[in-house]
Structure 1
C-alpha cells in the first residue's frame, strides 16, 4: 500500500541569527588503501586510489552549503518526525559514510556510492518536491553523479620520465642476478652502458619505451625485495659481468 509523504520537513531548525547553519566539517585525510591481497599489488593500488578519490568527493559534498543537512543521522525524536522510521527503514547519512570510509568498512567504491545514494534517496522519499531538504538532496545528488565517473576512471598511464624515476629506486633493490640482467638489457641500447673504475653505469635517461617495458617486467618478475649490493645513484651503478 502506498503511503503519502509527510508535508513537514526533516530539515533541522535554522541556526540562531548570527550563527552559521553549516556543520563544522574537517576534510578527512585520504583513507589508507585496503590491505594488499597476495598477487594483487596493481589492483590494490588502483583500489586505494579510487578510495582516495571517494574521500575527496565526499568532502566536497559535506563542504557544500547544504552539506550540513546530511552530515549527521536524522534525529527523528528531536524533530518530532514520529513516522520517519515507518517510511525510512534503512537510514543513512554522509557523516556515517565518512566514518565508514575512514575505517575501511567498504569493500569497494560501489559500496561507498550505494550509501551516498541511499542518503539522498531517503531524503527525497520522506520529503516532497519543493521542500528544502528534498531540493538540497537533488542538488547534492546531482553533484555526486556528475563526478562519480571520475572516481572510477583509471589513472592515466605514467610517462616514461615517471617510469625512469621509479625504476631508479627499484632496480638497486633487485637481487644481484636480476641486476646483472639489467646490464644485459641496457647493453642492447647504444650509449646506455659505459665502464668506469671496473663498474658499469646505466643511464636510464637514454632508455627508450621498449627498454623501460623490459625493465618493468624484470621488476615484476623478481620483485624489489632486496637491497642492492651496489650503491646506485641517479646514473644507476650495476656490477658488470
Structure 2
C-alpha cells in the first residue's frame, strides 16, 4: 500500500546545489560519488536497493501505477561507470529517486521504508560533504576565456557535440579547415556547464588512455 505523503528531497541547511565544476576536478568528484555509492551498496540494507524492483516475483501489481520513474542503486552504478550523467547533479537525483520511490510505495514503519530512510540519511550526509568541497564558480567571462583556449584542443567528436549545444542557443558557428568554430560569447551559464562537461570528458579519456598504457 502506498504511503500518503512523499518524502522530501535534501533537508534544509544543506549546501546550495551547483552545476559548475572545473573539468580538472570532475573526475575527482565522480570518484567521491563512486565511494559514497559503494558505501550505500555495502550497507547491510543496501542489497534491497541494488537492483530494480522485481514486481512479478514480489506480486506488486500496482507498483508501476504508483511509481512513475523506477530507479535503483545498481542502475546508478552503471550510469556512473559509463559516464551517463551530463552533470554532477544528475547523480544525487537518481539516488534520491531510489529512496523516494521506496518511501512512497511502502508505509512508514515497514522494513523497506525504514531501510530507505536510513540509507537516505547516510547519502545526504555524504553528498553534503561532496558539495561543500566543490569550488565556487569563477566569473562567466573567465569561464568563456578558458573554453576559448581549450576548445581547439578538443577531439573532433566532442567539438561536434559542442557545435550542437551552441546551435541550440543560436550561437554563431562555422567550420574552418575541418575544425568547428563557435561564438562562445553567446554562451550563458547553463551552456557553459554543458561545454565544460565536454572538457571533463576529454580529460577522463586521456586519463583512461594513460592507465591503459601502464597496464
Task: Give the root-mean-square deviation of aligned CA atoms.
Answer: 2.0
Q: Is residue 118 of structure 2 the alignment partner of residue 139 of structure 1?
A: yes
Q: Secondary structure at the residue paired with 1:44?
A: coil
Within 5 Å, which residues of 2 pair with 1:106-185?
A: 106-154=85-133
- 1:154 is displaced (CA, Å) by 3.1
Rg comparison, structure with higher value: 1
Task: List structure 1 segments (4+ residues) > 6 angstroms apart after TM superposition.
Answer: none
Looking at secondary structure, tell me which structure has more helix per residue. 2
Select the structure with the greater relative contact order (CA < 8 A; seq sep ≥ 6): 2
Q: Distance in 1 between the 2:59 and 2:107 partners?
A: 17
- State how far apart, in whole Å, the 2-side matches of 1:144 and 1:108 are: 18
SS, match of residue 109 in structure 1? coil
Determine whether 1:56 maps to 2:35.
yes
* Whole-angstrom CA distance in 2 between matches of 1:90 and 1:121: 10
Q: Give the total of aligned pairs.
A: 119
Q: CA deviation at 1:107?
A: 1.5
TM score, norm. by length of structure 1: 0.47
The CA distance in 2 between the partners of 1:151 and 1:45, in whole Å, is 16
Gaps of 5+ in 2: 4-20, 136-215
Ranges in structure 1 where 5+ consecutive residues have no aligned partner: 7-41, 157-241
